[in-house]
Amino acid sequence: MAKINIFWFRRDLRLGDNAGLYHSLCSSNPVLPIFIFDTEILDKLENRKDARIEFIHNAITELNNKLNQFGSNLLVKHGTPIEVWKQLIAEYDIGEVFTNSDYEPYAIDRDSAVKALLAEKQISFNSYKDHVIFEKDEVLKHDGKPYTIYTPYSKVWRAQLSEMNVKAFNSEKLSDNFVKRKTEELPSLERIGFKPAGIEFPSKELPVNIIKNYDNTRDIPSVNGTSRLSVHLRFGTVSIRKLVKEASRLNDTWLRELIWREFFMMILYHFPHSATGSFRREYDNIKWRNNEAEFEAWCRGETGYPIVDAGMRELNATGFMHNRLRMITASFLTKDLLIDWRWGERYFAEKLLDYELASNCGGWQWAAGTGCDAAPYFRIFNPELQAAKFDPEHKYIKKWIPGLDGFGYPQKIVDHSEARTRTLNAYKSALSPAKG
């Protein structure tokens, strides 16, 4: 049996400008590309029409079609990573394993376990930076500690950025180094236990004109003013190096959003407790109301606040929510209804096509005032003022609530002014022991 190396695709579903793939194809052995439908993740998904699984399936199908052109084929497995790797070790003479780094807590534990298993067989596990420009400890304060506030982090991030950081890896030009395999049909969605979601996925083509005008349109939900590339960044069907390079050329405001993404990833890496608890631990003392009926009304988009309800209905129907609406709906849940941010974070995790743990937790804690934002907790969005400012003609609202002016639209489930006072008192009470 001839010795081979393996490249493990995860959140990097592309052949071009792929760091780990490039390094694998530069190695001395032919490379077998694999993908694992991880049952440790899939078995926890209640919705069998989860759009993200369909997106991944579409992406690996496209990936496989390209590999077929080079006489190769993507080996797709379905199971737990450890069991799959045991099978691969038994079936192949593996020299080295290559992959790209993932910084979420589950991924870190998974990779540590796989690395240990491979080490028992003297198989090296090589992991590369591909999902971000700067990772882990590459942007730190002078004392070696991680930044916990975005603005100083972003300044250092920008100061360190160079042409080398965004230089593409010509992985696609090394396609002759893949293992030659007969074309095999990939497992269907149904075979892995899922069905098509029936939603339209955004294009991965760079919308140059939208990005050029991003700073003027990004807060207006009724216009097509955002890139819609977040799902492609989430699963690596586009290169972050390419996007940062284009952002530096086209629009600094859009670049700032890409830096926010890396900031939240850095926060989660250094402060993994923030995935399930308050970044500022003293905020765990908040006595949330957690009214289940009000939470269900929020989920359905039936709070009586049109801008909130429109955002939730768009999310439920499409798997997408405009970023301004994410802030408004999150503020409403945590500050008007005084419901634990983790309830909202979990709901977004179920619904968002572009769900990413670091950004989602970071955004929710920003809205709740429990995170690493420099602003105090008493920032509370007024949903009616937000609607007046960002959707003054109700173009967005009427798209998602066509019967707004007729019978049947619900009454407000809470008075904003009263809710604001209630929330401020709850936060003050929670933090008073810490201040003492």
Looking at the fold, whether 293 and 245 belong to one and the same domain comes out as no
Per-residue model confidence (pLDDT) at position 137: 94
Distance (Å, rounded) from C-alpha 213 to C-alpha 218? 8
Residue at 405 is within a domain = yes
Which of 107, 103, 111 is CA-nearest to residue 136?
Answer: 103
Q: State the DSSP string of 207-259.
A: -HHHHHTHHHHTT-TTS--S---HHHHHHTSS-HHHHHHHHHHH-HHHHHHHH
Asked if pLDDT for residue 298 goes beyond 70, the answer is yes
Residue at 190 is within a domain = no
Per-residue model confidence (pLDDT) at position 184: 84
Per-residue model confidence (pLDDT) at position 182: 86
Looking at the fold, whether 82 and 142 belong to one and the same domain comes out as no
The span from the first CA to the last CA of the chain, in angstroms, equals 69
Looking at the fold, whether 308 and 163 belong to one and the same domain comes out as no
pLDDT band (50, 70, 90) for residue 303? very high
Asked if pLDDT for residue 434 goes beyond 60, the answer is no
Asked if pLDDT for residue 354 goes beyond 60, the answer is yes
Residue at 200 is within a domain = no
pLDDT band (50, 70, 90) for residue 337? very high
Residue at 9 is within a domain = yes
pLDDT (average), residues 215-240: 96
| Residue pointed to by tokens 């609406």 | 325
Looking at the fold, whether 5 and 126 belong to one and the same domain comes out as yes
Q: Which of residues 130, 151, 184 is at a domain's end? A: 130
Per-residue model confidence (pLDDT) at position 1: 67
Looking at the fold, whether 216 and 326 belong to one and the same domain comes out as no
Answer whether 330's CB lies under 8 Å from 363's CB. yes
Asked if pLDDT for residue 307 goes beyond 60, the answer is yes
Tens digit of pLDDT for each residue in 376-408? 778 899 999 999 999 999 999 999 998 887 668
pLDDT band (50, 70, 90) for residue 196? very high
Looking at the fold, whether 114 and 257 belong to one and the same domain comes out as no
Say which amino acid occupies 378: F
Per-residue model confidence (pLDDT) at position 32: 98
Asked if pLDDT for residue 302 goes beyond 50, the answer is yes
Per-residue model confidence (pLDDT) at position 122: 97
Looking at the fold, whether 59 and 18 belong to one and the same domain comes out as yes
3 state DSSP class of 17: coil
CATH number of residue 402's parent domain: 1.10.579.10
30-34, 75-79, 405-409: which has the minimum mean pLDDT? 405-409
Residue at 73 is within a domain = yes
Asked if pLDDT for residue 279 goes beyond 90, the answer is yes
Q: Which domain holds residue 392?
A: 273-435
Contacts of 373-377 spanning 24+ positions with Cβ under 8 A: 373/149, 373/150, 374/149, 374/150, 374/151, 377/283, 377/427, 377/431
Per-residue model confidence (pLDDT) at position 436: 42
CATH number of residue 161's parent domain: 1.25.40.80
Looking at the fold, whether 51 and 119 belong to one and the same domain comes out as yes
Dihedral over Cα of 366, 368, 369, 372: its sign: negative
Looking at the fold, whether 431 and 290 belong to one and the same domain comes out as yes
Per-residue model confidence (pLDDT) at position 342: 97
Per-residue model confidence (pLDDT) at position 411: 93
pLDDT (average), residues 245-264: 97
Q: What is the CA radius of gyration of the chain?
A: 23
Looking at the fold, whether 78 and 36 belong to one and the same domain comes out as yes
Q: Tell me the CA distances in angstroms from 56 to 169, 192, 265, one per residue in order.
A: 23, 12, 21
The pTM (predicted TM-score) of the whole model is 0.94
Asked if pLDDT for residue 357 goes beyond 70, the answer is yes
Looking at the fold, whether 231 and 303 belong to one and the same domain comes out as no
CATH number of residue 107's parent domain: 3.40.50.620
What amino acid positions are annotated as catalytic residues?
A: 257, 260, 288, 323, 341, 364
Q: How many helices (H) and strands (E) does the chain have?
A: 19, 5
Residue at 58 is within a domain = yes
Q: Which of residues 270, 285, 302 is at a domain's end? A: 270
Q: In the chain, pLDDT over 90 holds for what percent of residues?
A: 92
Residue at 390 is within a domain = yes
Number of domains composing the chain: 3
Instruction: Determine how many CB atoms are found less than 10 A away from the CB of residue 184.
Output: 12
Q: Which of residues 221, 239, 270 is at a domain's end? A: 270
Distance (Å, rounded) from C-alpha 317 to C-alpha 199? 8
Per-residue model confidence (pLDDT) at position 408: 80
Looking at the fold, whether 283 and 409 belong to one and the same domain comes out as yes
Residue at 176 is within a domain = no
pLDDT band (50, 70, 90) for residue 259? very high
- Tell me the H-state helices in 383-415: 383-390, 395-400
Q: In the chain, pLDDT over 70 holds for what percent of residues?
A: 98
Which of 329, 397, 327 is CA-nearest to residue 366?
Answer: 327
